[in-house]
Amino acid sequence: MVNFTEEQLQQIKAAIHKRYLELQEEIRSELVNAGEEFDVSRADDINNILADVDTALIDKQINEMRELEMSEKYLMELEFGDCVDCGGEIGFERLIANPSAQRCIECQRKFEKFYSAGNAPSL
């Protein structure tokens, strides 16, 4: 466990909360924008709305929200701040900038390289 000070923990917690609200707002406005073109009271239109919305983007946002929830849950636990891959420190600055980070920068690069190399399941 990285030894964060109480103050650092509070800052990370605030960053998690802020990002969470941002994501909620982004998803809401995307759904509202898409919904404007349709009569939301008609059940048939729901599928049209969902077809119109960028579901890949929303999936990504919802996924990030889940990660933030996890981070918040782990915040007070021993593993918080440790990279899930190498067990090294993720780093305070990185957590503030990216509160859902699960990996140190090094491991994140490897992770993204792996997935962008076509190993990710295509939608």
| Interface positions with Zn ion (CB under 5 A) | 83, 85-86, 88, 104, 107
When the beta carbons of 35 and 91 are compared against Zn ion, the nearer one is: 91
Nearest to 102 by CA among 90, 116, 114: 90
Number of C-alpha atoms within 13 angstroms, CB side, residue 71?
A: 28
When the beta carbons of 48 and 102 are compared against Zn ion, the nearer one is: 102
Minimal distance, residue 118 CB to Zn ion, in Å: 23
When the beta carbons of 18 and 109 are compared against Zn ion, the nearer one is: 109
Distance CA 48, CA 51 (A): 5
Q: H or E element: which one contains 118?
A: none
Minimal distance, residue 37 CB to Zn ion, in Å: 44
